[in-house]
C-alpha cells in the first residue's frame, strides 16, 4: 500500500503549503456561529464515555464510508475500552494496586476523550459541508482544530484522497495526544515512567486487536483476530507508525475492512472482551472470592471445570468522569517538517492472525498472577 513516486510527488505541494493556512479572526456570521455551536454541543453529547464515543465513530462511518479513519477509530476505541475494563477484570487487579488501576484508567480515558473531542468535530463539519455542498473547513480553527488538518481537509475536499486523509488524521491525533497527555508531568510520573507500564511492553502484552467475522469452522469458531503489537507507546513516531500499519492492515486491499465492519455492526461495544471471545470471557464474575488463583487456560482453551475469565462491561466498573478542557494550542506550530511523515511510503503491515499471540499474552499474565499469589500467599 506504499505510495508510488508519482503519488509522492503530487502530495509535495500540499505538504509545502501546510504552513500557509490562515486562521479566520473576524467575527463569524450567524449561520457559521450556529454551526460551530451545534457541532460543539453534539460532540459533548457523544463524549460521555468510551461506549458513546465508540458508537459515534461507527454511526458516522455507516453514513460516510469514504472517511476510512472513522472505522479505524471505532475499532481502536474498542481496544481502549477493553484495556479500561481489564483494569477491573479477573487478572490485572491481582497485579496492580488500586491507585495504579485508577491512574491507568485516567490515562486511557483522558486520551480517548481528547481524541474524540478533537476529531469528532472535524467529522461533523465534513458532514455539514456535504449537506450544504460547500467547503466549511475554514471553521476548523473555531473548533480548536490544528491548521494542519485544515489543509488536509481542504485537500480531501478537492481530491477525495481517502488514504491521505486517514494518514493525516492519524498524524494529527497522535501529535495532539503528545502535547495534551504524553508531555503532561502528572501522567509521566503516574503511568508512562512506571514499572507496570514498562512490563507491558517487555512481555508483549499490549496489542491492538481487529476482530473480523469469518465462516464458522468445525469447532464452532466464527472470528479471526487481526492486529498489531504495541511497542514504545511513549514514542510519538512509533504511535504514528502503528496507526499507519493498522490503517494499511484494515484497508490494504484484502476483505478485512468488510469483515471487521460486519462484525462491528453485529456486536455492540460493551467494553467486555466477551464481545469477541465469549468462550473465554464472561461479564459475570464466577470466581469464588478469597481463594488463591488457579490457572484457567491451556492452549487458549479453558481447563476442564474452569470458569471463564471475568471481563466486565465498561459501565459495570467505571463511571463517566468530568474532564478539564484541553490546553489551547496548535501542535503544528514549529513542526513544518511533518510533511515528511505524511508523504512517506506506507509501511507494509505484516501482522494478520493475532489469536495465538493474544493467547500467549493471556498465559503470561496468568503465570504472573499465579507467581504473585505464591509469593504473597
Which pTM does this prediction carry?
A: 0.88
Query: How many whole angstroms separate alpha carbon 141 and alpha carbon 118?
Result: 11
Report whether pLDDT(187) > 70: no
**Can you give the pLDDT at residue 237?**
87
- Pick the most confident of 120-124, 181-185, 350-354: 120-124
The dihedral sign for the CA sequence 29, 30, 31, 37: positive
Q: What pLDDT digit, counting tens, does each position of 260-287 carry?
A: 999 999 999 999 999 999 999 999 998 7
Three cell numbers, residue 97: 494496586
Mean pLDDT of 51-56: 98
**Can you give the pLDDT at residue 100?**
85
The rounded percent of the chain whose pLDDT value lies above 90 is 55
**Alpha helix ranges (H) inside 178-302:** 185-187, 195-202, 236-251, 256-266
* Closest of 361, 263, 273, 358 to residue 317, by C-alpha: 273
Are the C-beta atoms of residues 90 and 294 closer than 8 Å to each other? no
Q: What pLDDT digit, counting tens, does each position of 217-243 carry?
A: 434 457 889 888 876 667 888 889 899
Three cell numbers, residue 114: 481528547
Q: What pLDDT digit, counting tens, does each position of 24-50 carry?
A: 445 889 999 999 999 999 999 999 999
Query: Which comes out higher in pLDDT, residue 88 or 97?
Result: 88
Q: Which residues contact 248 (CB under 8 A, 6 or more apart)?
A: 1, 346, 347, 348, 349
**Can you give the pLDDT at residue 21?**
45
Query: How many whole angstroms separate alpha carbon 308 and alpha carbon 301?
Result: 10
Start-to-end Cα distance in the chain: 52
Q: What pLDDT digit, counting tens, does each position of 340-349 carry?
A: 777 654 565 5
Amino acid at each position: 500500500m506504499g505510495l508510488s513516486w508519482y503519488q509522492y510527488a503530487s502530495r509535495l505541494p500540499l505538504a509545502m503549503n501546510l504552513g500557509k493556512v490562515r486562521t479566520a479572526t473576524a467575527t463569524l456570521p450567524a449561520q457559521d456561529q450556529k454551526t460551530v455551536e451545534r457541532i460543539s454541543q453534539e460532540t459533548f453529547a457523544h463524549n460521555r464515555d468510551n461506549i458513546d464515543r465508540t458508537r459515534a465513530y461507527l454511526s458516522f462511518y455507516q453514513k460516510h464510508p469514504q472517511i476510512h479513519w472513522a472505522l479505524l477509530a471505532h475499532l481502536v476505541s474498542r481496544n481502549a475500552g477493553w484495556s479500561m475494563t481489564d483494569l477491573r477484570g479477573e487478572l490485572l487487579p491481582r497485579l496492580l494496586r488500586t491507585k495504579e488501576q485508577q491512574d491507568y484508567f485516567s490515562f486511557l480515558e483522558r486520551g480517548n476523550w481528547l481524541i474524540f473531542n478533537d476529531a469528532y468535530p472535524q467529522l461533523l463539519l465534513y458532514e455539514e459541508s456535504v449537506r450544504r455542498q460547500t467547503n466549511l473547513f475554514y471553521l476548523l480553527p473555531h473548533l480548536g482544530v490544528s491548521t494542519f488538518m485544515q489543509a488536509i481537509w481542504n485537500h480531501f475536499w478537492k481530491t477525495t484522497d481517502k488514504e491521505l486523509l486517514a494518514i493525516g488524521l492519524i498524524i494529527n491525533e497522535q501529535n495532539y495526544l503528545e502535547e495534551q497527555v504524553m508531555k503532561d508531568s502528572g501522567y509521566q510520573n503516574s503511568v508512562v515512567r512506571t514499572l507496570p507500564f514498562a512490563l507491558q511492553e517487555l512481555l508483549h502484552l499490549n496489542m491492538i486487536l481487529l476482530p473480523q467475522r469469518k465462516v464458522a469452522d468445525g469447532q464452532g469458531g466464527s472470528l479471526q483476530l487481526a492486529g498489531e503489537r504495541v511497542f514504545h507507546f511513549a514514542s510519538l513516531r512509533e504511535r504514528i507508525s502503528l496507526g499507519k500499519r493498522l490503517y494499511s492492515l484494515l484497508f490494504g486491499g484484502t476483505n478485512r475492512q468488510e469483515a471487521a465492519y460486519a462484525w462491528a455492526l453485529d456486536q455492540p461495544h460493551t467494553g467486555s472482551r466477551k464481545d469477541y471471545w465469549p468462550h473465554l470471557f464472561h461479564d459475570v464474575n464466577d470466581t469464588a472470592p478469597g481463594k488463591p488463583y488457579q490457572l484457567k487456560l491451556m492452549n487458549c482453551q479453558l481447563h476442564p471445570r474452569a470458569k471463564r475469565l471475568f471481563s466486565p462491561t465498561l459501565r459495570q466498573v467505571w463511571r463517566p468522569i468530568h474532564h478539564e478542557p484541553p490546553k489551547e494550542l496548535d501542535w503544528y506550530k514549529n513542526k513544518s517538517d511533518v510533511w515528511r511523515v505524511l508523504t512517506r511510503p506506507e509501511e507494509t503491515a505484516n501482522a494478520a492472525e493475532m489469536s495465538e499471540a493474544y493467547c500467549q499474552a493471556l498465559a503470561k499474565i496468568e503465570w504472573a498472577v499465579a507467581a504473585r499469589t505464591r509469593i504473597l500467599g
